């Protein structure tokens, strides 16, 4: 049986880093478009490029936070943790928004997040709408069931403003064998495939959007989770505080 989407590590957009907005302004805030490319590499890592067209609904904001879940309990058994480390994080903005990076680590129980702040706290945005591009490499994202490798991933989380439209592209060595979209209730999602991979198109996303692609056996290595005994990592959990990784 394949795992539930919630058991597969996801990318979660956590919150805005900004001055407080009035309730009326908060209602107007939304993501005009979210475009994500998951380029699966032969070694099993995934190079992720996320482009966000964010409408803040007001000027005077500073930027955004982006959270990446990199550790959680595996399978509900209580004795193993699954890891999906991220590295080589970059940010840019084609609309000229400040893209100063501050990357920190946060832990809650057995879960761990890498929190990426894309902002300059000394600069207020003079436009209510900006586009951000965040790139990184993720390990441990692939799985294999019955000898068939796959990529089964939550693209969005629940802590997001409404997304007017989302496009997700998954590419892999040798292409893909099948593709399915699992949208949240009320979200329309369609899938097209070509020689390189699959493209998922969704409208009115308000919740978790999950994509599934089957991969060609033998074309990617390390199509399995990175598991660690919970007992070994318990010392790390107790002794390692939230820390600044880079600025």
Residue in 3, 12, 208 with CA at minimum distance from that of residue 111: 12
DSSP 235: H
Q: What does the pLDDT read at residue 100?
A: 95
**Residue 125, burial from CB neighbour count under 10 angstroms (0-12, 13-18, 19+):** buried
Question: What pLDDT does 159 receive?
Answer: 77
Q: Which two tokens stand for residue 115?
A: 């929190």
Say what the pLDDT of residue 160 is: 81
Query: What is the rounded distance in angstroms from the CA atom of residue 121 to the CA atom of residue 134?
Result: 18
Pairwise CA distance, residues 98 & 96, whole Å: 6
- Burial of 22 per CB tally in 10 Å (0-12, 13-18, 19+): exposed
pLDDT the model gives residue 238: 37
Residue 194's pLDDT is 95
Report the distance separating Cα 131 and Cα 117, nearest Å. Answer: 14
Distance between CA atoms of 198 and 168, rounded to whole angstroms? Answer: 8
pLDDT at 26: 46
pLDDT value for 54: 95
- At 2 the pLDDT is 35
Cα gap 25→9, rounded to integer Å: 32
Residue found under tokens 């955004």: 64
**CA distance readout (Å), 168 to 89, 165, 173, 229:** 19, 10, 17, 33
Full-model pTM: 0.85
pLDDT of residue 76: 62
- At 6 the pLDDT is 34
158 close to 207: Cβ distance less than 8 angstroms: yes
**pLDDT averaged over consecutive 10-residue blocks of the chain (247 residues)?**
33 39 55 97 98 94 91 81 95 96 88 93 94 97 96 89 95 97 86 96 92 97 93 47 36
The rounded radius of gyration (Å) of the Cα atoms in the chain is 18
């Amino acid at each position: 049986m394949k795992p539930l989407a919630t058991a597969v590590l996801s990318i979660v957009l956590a919150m805005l880093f900004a001055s407080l907005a009035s309730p009326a302004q908060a209602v107007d805030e939304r993501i005009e478009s979210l475009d994500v490319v998951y380029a699966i590499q032969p070694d099993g890592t995934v190079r992720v490029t996320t482009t966000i067209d964010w409408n803040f609904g007001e000027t005077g904001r500073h930027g955004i936070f982006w959270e990446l879940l990199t550790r959680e309990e595996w399978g509900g058994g209580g004795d193993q943790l699954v890891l999906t480390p991220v590295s080589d994080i970059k940010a840019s903005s084609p609309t000229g928004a400040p893209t100063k990076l501050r990357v920190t680590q946060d832990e809650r129980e057995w879960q761990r997040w890498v929190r990426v702040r894309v902002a300059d706290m000394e600069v207020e945005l003079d436009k209510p709408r900006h586009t951000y591009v965040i790139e990184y490499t993720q390990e441990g994202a692939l799985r294999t069931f019955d000898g068939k490798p796959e990529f089964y991933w939550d693209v969005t989380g629940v802590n997001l403003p409404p997304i007017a439209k989302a496009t997700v592209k998954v590419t892999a060595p040798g292409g893909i064998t099948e593709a399915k979209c699992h949208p949240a209730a009320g979200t329309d999602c369609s899938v097209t495939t070509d020689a390189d991979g699959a493209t998922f198109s969704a409208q009115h996303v308000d919740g978790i959007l999950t994509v599934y692609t089957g991969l060609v056996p033998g074309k990617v290595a390390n199509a399995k989770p990175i598991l660690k005994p919970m007992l070994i990592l318990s010392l790390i959990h107790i002794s390692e505080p939230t820390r600044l990784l880079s600025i």
